[in-house]
Amino acid sequence: MPKYALRSVALGYLTLLVGVPVGLIFWRTFEHGLKPVIDSLTDPSVLHAFRVTAIVALWAVLLNTVFGVGVAVLLVRHRFPGRRLLSVLVDLPIAVSPVVVGLALILVYGRHAPIGGWLTDHGVKVIFAYPGMVLATMFVSLPLVVREVAPVLEEIGIEQEQAAWTLGANRLQTFRRVTLPAIRWALAYGVVLTLARSLGEYGAVAVVSGRLIGKTQTATLVVEERFQNFDQGTAYAVSVTLALVAIVVLILINVLRPKEHT
């Protein structure tokens, strides 16, 4: 009997908190058919926003993948003073509010800040432009690749890499032929997580982008802007599109996860 009580409490809570709200937004979006949704999504400023989101996310994923693998190798395979500190630094973004991330970047890379001023003088605009948005997105998704790849590197040990070295392979060959195949599922998992986080980032990007419609507005910023301006149809349509991406990510994660353990 208590088994059923617990089950109903758990399922009831999940239904009210997640199931019904998410279901309702799909229903609200499609209640007038497919046409208004397609019209909303093909609006030029909405299309532009999706493009901006894609560009920012691709750069953030690319840079965080390269950097994430590098730092994971460094943390697991090398000993150096300050290693623990580096590890803490990598985890730090989890605990920082996205708004604070945006503020932090403005204070350093804004036009009136020392580094930002110097960059502006040399023709590089960071804040209210792509570089700042990529930096903000990288900041919030920084730990994801590192924390997926590091435990696997730890797990596989270095015997195979040593064998490759003794057989005359250089560092790059060893990495490409031995290390990379061993970490590929963890890496794929980390990349998918980074991509999801990058596509969905709102707070940090809201601060550093300046929210210029048709210029630096991303998909998540469209949702907020249209909702505040009583264009709920577009807000719902873009939300549902982002939610569908999230669901695809969930499916991918569930496909990738079991392979990690084999």
Partner 1 sequence: MADATVTLPRSTPRRRGGVASLNTGTAFGVGIATLWLSLLILVPLGAVVWRAQRDGLGSFWDAVTTPQAVAAIRLTVVCALLVAVVNAVLGTLIAWVLVRDDFHGKRLVDAIIDLPFALPTIVAGLVLLTLYGVHSPVGLELAYTRAGVVVALLFVTLPFVVRTVQPVLREFDGEMEQAAASLGASSFTIFRRIVLPNLLPAISAGTALAFARAISEFGATVLIAGNLPVASVHIFTQIETDNTVGAAAVATVLLVIALIVLIGLDLLQRWAARHA
User: Residue 196 CB, nearest distance to partner 1 (Å)?
Assistant: 5
Neighbours of 46 (CB within 10 A): 20
Site for partner 1 in 111-150 (CB under 8 A): 113, 115, 135, 138-139, 142-144, 147-148
Neighbours of 223 (CB within 10 A): 20
Structure-block tokens of residue 161? 């890499």
Site for partner 1 in 178-197 (CB under 8 A): 189-190, 193, 196
Task: Pick the closest to residue 53 from 240, 199, 180 (CA basis).
Answer: 199
User: Residue 164 CB, nearest distance to partner 1 (Å)?
Assistant: 14
User: Residue 31 CB, nearest distance to partner 1 (Å)?
Assistant: 12
Contact 190, 64 (CB under 8 A): no
For partner 1, the binding residue among 37, 187, 199, 237 (CB under 8 A) is 199
For partner 1, the binding residue among 60, 105, 126, 187 (CB under 8 A) is 105
For residue 65, the surrounding DSSP H or E stretch is helix 44-77
Contact 59, 141 (CB under 8 A): no
- Name the residue nearer to partner 1 (CB basis): 59 or 109: 109
- Residues 6 or more apart whose CB falls under 8 angstroms from that of 3 comprise none
User: Residue 218 CB, nearest distance to partner 1 (Å)?
Assistant: 10
User: Does position 176 bind partner 1 by CB under 8 A?
Assistant: no
User: Residue 80 CB, nearest distance to partner 1 (Å)?
Assistant: 5
Q: What is the dihedral sign for C-alpha 6, 8, 11, 16?
A: negative
For partner 1, the binding residue among 104, 129, 169, 188 (CB under 8 A) is 104
Site for partner 1 in 208-247 (CB under 8 A): 220, 223-224, 227, 235-236, 239, 242-243, 246-247
Site for partner 1 in 42-71 (CB under 8 A): 67, 70-71
Structure-block tokens of residue 209? 């982008």
